[in-house]
Structure 1
Amino acid sequence: SVGICGSDLHSYKDGRIGDNVLESPLTLGHEFGGIIEAIGDDPMGGDFKPLEPGMRVAVDPAQPCWRCEMCEQGHPNLCHHLHFCGSYPDEGSLVQWMHMPARTCFQIPDHIDNAGAALLEPLGIAVHAVDLAKIKVANSVAILGAGCIGLSILQMAKLSGAQPIFISDKFPWRLKVAEKLGGIPINCDEVDPVDAVLRATGGHGVDVAIEAAWADHSVQQSAEMVRLGGRLVIVGISENDSLVMKHSTVRRKGLTIRIARRMKHTYPRSIQLLSSGAVDLNCLVSHRFPLEQAPEAFAMNEAYENEVVKAIIDVTS
């Protein structure tokens, strides 16, 4: 199974994501898992255990070199020579067979289904974002964007002990999921989310804001929601490759700002969280399509039709 991500939609709609421009046709897809058909000379998987044919695995789409300065310093997500599935020029996972380094493959237990294997990738992004946010018990948190990553961040913030957790979005069906997961929903089409958060916190703002909406205005809104000396983590990707916020806002508040670049070695933790039932990813899956209906799946996501949260494409059906 392969999940459709917001970054896939950037490439699908615009032929680019940031300054990465598609110069020729490209197979998209980077949220995926599969079954091992054959093993090369080095069978060691990402969890440092040997892989075997027939194993079900989740696959990290990032392929760092493991030899550059950033990799050596423990930042493989910043690798100088990084390859990433579905990011030009590297082909993606909307295919029936792929050739991947064993180190990117992580065995999953039988009770994690194919959709869950695919959604370990956005869960890993959420784990990394919350790591960057340094959330402490009873910290107040605001999340902008209730898509798959925003809803995964909500679950991670809750596990970290955050309380209260506000989450804003313009789609009521996504906010219903957020409320079921323990978030305080804010419909940003009905109220000003900044005013709503400030009123709820006595004018102080939240300890942490996490921007996961990839909307140009949401970065500034995030900064306005955070208290003096608070923390802001930016996860979303701007449509026009710009980062817009008032310098006076972040300067006067003395904010700590972190930008999430994909994830680090989060798959083992993500698998443990999902396997134990600590997080629920099935509640995020709203639609499933066979591979031959991928165009319809992308069109539905682009238009936000049919109350879509996360669409999964089954490449084996």
Structure 2
Amino acid sequence: MGRGGEGSDAAVQAESGTTPNLAAWVCGVNVLKIEPFELPAVLGPNDVRVAIKAVGICGSDVHYLKHMRCGDFIVKEPMVIGHECAGIVEELGSAVSHLEVGDRVALEPGISCGKCKLCKEGFYNLCCDMKFFATPPVHGSLANKVIHPGDLCFKLPENVSLEEGAMCEPLSVGVHACRRANVGAETQVLIMGAGPIGLVSMLVARAFGAPKIVLADVHPDRLAVAKTLGADATVLVTHNIEDIEQEVAEILKAMGSDIDVTIDCAGFTKTMSTSLKCTRSGGMVCVVGMGDNEMNLPLTPAAAREVDIRGVFRYRNTYPLCINLLTTGKIDVKPLITHRFGFNQKDVEDAFTTSASGGNAIKVMFNL
């Protein structure tokens, strides 16, 4: 998929009378440009062409824009951004039989190899050859149109909007985290971080039957949102490592009983230290956030209490359940969408500025 721009490709399309497929490209630190995005002219037999209609901004998208990298993934050349998306099927490959032109679909953004040991054992989210939207060097989906495997396009019921379809991506992270943590009807849950992933994890934990959920965050605005969405209690914490003991006491008091599972959606040394101290003996800490690449943690006391630590990376086999949770009304993600923008140069720049500013911005959504 080549990059167009101000050169010959755009000129040829203009002369032929066709409308170029436009996309939002990360071209440098804090440099976004809407330019042509060339797609293959012929579909593969298992692929579909989708007109993208809704795209959400993820924290990783902001990170790529601000730092040209996220973890070990480095943007070395211009890249189309975006991976939380939904749209309308425009064209089907010859072997695609479960979809029809005009279907509204949510797109699972990761294409695994399907051949390695991890894929064959069902852990396809850990595939070393994963091609994931907007993860270098793979282009993303903030574009008028994309081509994607048909089996990763999930039809949306009539009562689920395209925006909700795009929200299936972050919601999948919450589903995978709660599955990894075995959250159920007897699980008391602490969630560190009340950003988008912390909030969807809270919604999923409640849908899975968790009787009490406490959220902790450094932003009072986000804790207020968590409260309106059903958190049983919230605790305002700080960035200071010296405050851990006092904050652990406040969190335990807010829970009022043992904490069975802590889901750390921030992933910093302080949040993980707090999580390990708060979680009961024999409990579990799930690490979702990746704030710090390296941490100095009190592992020995936690190990002596048999507190398990489980990693959470993206998700697997979650989209059907996410769509069911939205269809049945067991989860409502609409309140999480706080800001909406169109798809033009100014709107794209303003949307990323809004998302990066935090504050009362939870999920920023593009309507194409």
TM-score (norm 1): 0.92
Contact 2:114 2:120 (C-alpha < 8 Å) held by counterparts: yes
Give the letter for the 2:93 counterpart: G
Deviates most, 81-90 or 249-258: 249-258
After TM superposition, the structure 1 = structure 2 runs for residues 1-317 of structure 1, keeping only pairs within 5 Å, are 1-44=54-97, 50-183=98-231, 184-189=233-238, 192-201=246-255, 205-238=258-291, 240-292=292-344, 293-305=347-359, 307-314=360-367, 316=368
Cα shift at 1:205: 4.4
C-alpha change, 1:210 and 1:266, in structure 2 (3 Å) is: same
Give the letter for the 2:266 counterpart: A
Deviates most, 70-79 or 213-222: 213-222
Contact 1:168 1:193 (C-alpha < 8 Å) held by counterparts: no
Cα shift at 1:201: 5.0
Cα shift at 1:214: 4.0
Give the letter for the 2:78 counterpart: P
Give me the whole-angstrom Cα distance separating, in 2, the residues matched to 1:243 and 1:35.
Answer: 43
Give me the whole-angstrom Cα distance separating, in 2, the residues matched to 1:285 and 1:193.
Answer: 30
Spell out, residue by residue over 1:161-193, the C-alpha distance to the aligned partner (whole angstroms, 9 max, x if none).
222210011222221221122211111149854
Spell out, residue by residue over 1:217-264, the C-alpha distance to the aligned partner (whole angstroms, 9 max, x if none).
2121111110111100011122x5224422223222211111011001
C-alpha change, 1:291 and 1:166, in structure 2 (3 Å) is: same
> Quick check: which has more Rg, 1 or 2?
2
Contact 1:133 1:208 (C-alpha < 8 Å) held by counterparts: yes
Give the letter for the 1:32 counterpart: C
Contact 1:128 1:264 (C-alpha < 8 Å) held by counterparts: yes
Cα shift at 1:271: 0.2
Q: Let me know the Cα RMSD of the aligned residues.
A: 1.7
C-alpha change, 1:278 and 1:244, in structure 2 (3 Å) is: farther
Spell out, residue by residue over 1:101-157, the C-alpha distance to the aligned partner (whole angstroms, 9 max, x if none).
111100001221121011001111111100000123232110011111111111111
Contact 1:219 1:244 (C-alpha < 8 Å) held by counterparts: no
Equivalent residues, number: 307
Give me the whole-angstrom Cα distance separating, in 2, the residues matched to 1:301 and 1:85.
Answer: 19
List runs of 5+ in structure 1 lacking aligned partners.
45-49
C-alpha change, 1:231 and 1:33, in structure 2 (3 Å) is: same
Give me the whole-angstrom Cα distance separating, in 2, the residues matched to 1:73 and 1:133.
Answer: 20
Contact 2:267 2:287 (C-alpha < 8 Å) held by counterparts: no
Q: Provide the secondary structure at the position in 2 that maps to 1:152.
A: helix
List runs of 5+ in structure 2 lacking aligned partners.
1-53
In proportion to residue count, which structure has more strand?
A: 2
TM-score (norm 2): 0.80
C-alpha change, 1:193 and 1:286, in structure 2 (3 Å) is: farther
Contact 2:133 2:139 (C-alpha < 8 Å) held by counterparts: yes
Q: Provide the secondary structure at the position in 2 that maps to 1:207.
A: strand
RCO higher in structure (CA 8 A, sep ≥6)? 1
Contact 1:76 1:264 (C-alpha < 8 Å) held by counterparts: yes
Give me the whole-angstrom Cα distance separating, in 2, the residues matched to 1:80 and 1:258.
Answer: 19
